[in-house]
Chain A
Amino acid sequence: MDEKLKVLVVDDEEGMREGIRRVLKKSGLQVDTAENGEEALDSLKKEIYDLALIDLQMPGINGFEVTEYINREIGSRTVVVIVSALATVEAAVEVTRHGAFDFLVKPFTPKDLLEVTGRALKQHELIREREKYLYELNSERNLSRQLINAMQEGVIVLNIKKKPVLMNPKAEFFLKKRYTENLEISDLFPDDTVKSAIDEVISSDESESKSRVMHAGSDEMMILFRIDLLLQDGEKKGVIVILTDVTDEWKAEKDKNRFVSMVAHELKSPLAAIINYINVIQTGMLDEKPEKIHEMLDRCKTRGDALLELIRDLLYINKREAGKVEKSIEKINLKEVIESQLDFFKVQAEKRGILLTLSAEHDEYIVNADRGDLDRIFMNLISNGIKYNRDNGSLTVKLNREKSFIEINVSDTGIGMKQEEMQNLFKEFYRVKNEKTSGISGTGLGLATVKRVLSSYNGHISVESVPDKGTTFTVQFPV
């Protein structure tokens, strides 16, 4: 040990004090002395000693009282050896009863002194080692507690009587409950789903875990509860409940189900109209009015075409989501893309007297993108601008260069939308439905696809609209 062990020698006889001091100093100990009990207490308050050699009979505070003080205030950090001329068994017993470790009988030889001191210091070392071990054990406990507290999963431990005995912060967060000693199982799990699973695990003879999925904390959060038997040396001690946040998975599943349901709905709706028309024709009730039959067949064709378009869009989305759409990113002039799209829609627009205009200061608006993606974005926006326009209206596409992006405005003079109608505009299968839109066909996938495609380029789309005046879509495409 690098640091010298410290000894306090308490004796009212100066010769004895000094004699002991010299012997102990020689053997490498650091020695302080005190003349009486009061002085001893002062020293003990200032300094930590490994060993105290205390004379029993002193005026004022005697040796027992100093020993008691050490036991009470300092504990096993300081080992006490009593020095006394009372060499009886009773005295020895009395000394240890007061908490001293050993007893040194006056008169003693330096050898006796060193022997007793050596034993005492050995004892002292043992005590220190035990304390160190206990400290480490304790901090290991702290470590596992810290680990439990740092976990992303919630942890709850219930004892065999199903009383909660441990709950980490994450579990408190999931269940919106603070752990207290008064907490009962029914406070944590008000409904039977998890409670009955806990009962099953506790009463089962096999240590098989059970899992339950249910809302916790709020309807927006979905938690997986896994319940395991807590065993110690093969004996049932309770259960551990692990709580995992599965909200994202649950939401994704819900979205997927919603999407599939909507797909089914959107596929069946046009079929319903087509089948009904065919039903009518089959009755023969229109045999006298062939022009009416032709009209119906035309509508069947239109709805069939729309259905085909929807199926194509769905397959495209599916392929895109699966990463199976091959893309070749190249430098493309947006102006050219838009010009060719406007050209494609020219005939359709002219039929309704809609004027198509492109406004661009420069010749080139270069972006890095896949041509197919750009076509899809502007085909959808221009097609919407014509479909939802008024007859003899206009559709204007404006290109603007900004610092980090190119901004494209697609403005129509059409029916426009109310604020509340625009809320879900970019969601799959959302279509504004009112008297004005009832005759306009669409898949409900166009704008959702535009948004998806754009966000894959970190682009952005927004919309402004005034009912009966028109709508402007603004696309920002990063350069």
Chain B
Amino acid sequence: MPKVLIVDDDIDLLEGQKLFLEGKGYRVETAASMNEGLAKLKSFMPDIILADLMMEHYDTGFVFCKKVKDNPETKNVPIIMQTAASRETGFAIDIESPDKREWIKVDEIVAKPVQLDMLEGKIKQYLLK
């Protein structure tokens, strides 16, 4: 059973995505903050992480992802960032340029709202790699 960790400060979003993915046969753990997410990772090793960007601070998601990727135990876990703070809404988030990739350690950014079957499709892609 593939394992997913979702980190997002919106408890409804966590609930909806958890139920959906569980219904599709995943094992899902959720965390409502960066610290909760990091704590979960000590006992739960996911195959993929879904992370929000703006949580306690506007860039908490990036800090969280950097911590995950800097940790040798979790550095190979792919991360999909889902955020409503996308470029189309005026945020200069760009993981294409190399200098940004230096500190924005995510594998992909998707814009909220995410259609859940699309999200699952992305998860499958990463699990196949």
Contact = CB atoms under 8 A, between A and B. Distances in A.
Interface stretch (A143-151, A266-274, A335-343): A266-274
Given A265-B85, A272-B84, A435 B11 contact: no
A292 B90 CA distance: 36
Contact of B16 (A268, A273, A434): A273
B85 to A, nearest CB: 5
Given A269-B84, A271-B113, A285-B23, A260 B17 contact: no
Contacts of A269: 10, 13, 84, 112
Nearest to B90: A261
Interface in B1-59: 9-13, 15-17, 19-20, 23, 32-33, 36, 54-56
Contacts of A261: 85, 89-91
Interface of A: 257, 260-261, 264-266, 268-277, 279-280, 283, 285-286, 292, 296, 299, 303, 433-435, 438-439
A275 B115 contact: yes
Contact of B113 (A272, A280, A435, A438): A272
B114 interface: yes
B23 A283 contact: yes
A268 B84 contact: yes
Given A271-B113, A272-B113, A433-B56, A277 B12 contact: yes
Given A268-B113, A280-B19, 9 more contacts: A269-B10, A269-B13, A276-B12, A276-B13, A276-B16, A276-B20, A279-B20, A286-B19, A435-B33
Contact of A273 (B10, B20, B23, B32): B10
A441 to B, nearest CB: 10
Given A279-B117, A280-B23, A299-B12, A265 B84 contact: yes
A286 B24 CA distance: 12
Nearest to B20: A280
A292 B19 CA distance: 10
Contact of A303 (B12, B55, B84, B89): B12
Contacts of B113: 268, 271-272, 274-276
Contacts of A283: 20, 23
Interface of B: 9-13, 15-17, 19-20, 23, 32-33, 36, 54-56, 82, 84-85, 89-91, 112-117
A280 B116 contact: yes
Contact of B114 (A266, A272, A296): A272
Contacts of B12: 270, 273-274, 276-277, 299, 303
Most buried by A among B36, B55, B56: B56
Contacts, number: 90
B60 to A, nearest CB: 8
Contacts of B90: 257, 260-261, 264
Contacts of A280: 16, 19-20, 23, 116
5 contacts: A261-B90, A270-B12, A274-B113, A280-B16, A296-B16
A265 B82 CA distance: 12
A192 to B, nearest CB: 19
Contacts of B17: 276
A44 to B, nearest CB: 78
Nearest to B111: A268
Given A273-B13, A276-B116, A268 B89 contact: yes
B16 A277 contact: yes
A265 B33 contact: no
B115 A435 contact: no
A387 B16 CA distance: 24
Contacts of A273: 10, 12-13, 16
A270 to B, nearest CB: 8
A376 to B, nearest CB: 26
B32 to A, nearest CB: 4
A274 B56 CA distance: 22
Nearest to A275: B113
Nearest to B89: A264
A135 B84 CA distance: 70
A125 to B, nearest CB: 74
Please indicate which of the listed interface residues B10, B15, B54, B84 has the most CB atoms of chain A within 10 Å of its own CB: B84
Contacts of A276: 12-13, 16-17, 20, 113-114, 116
Contact of B56 (A271, A277, A299, A434): A434
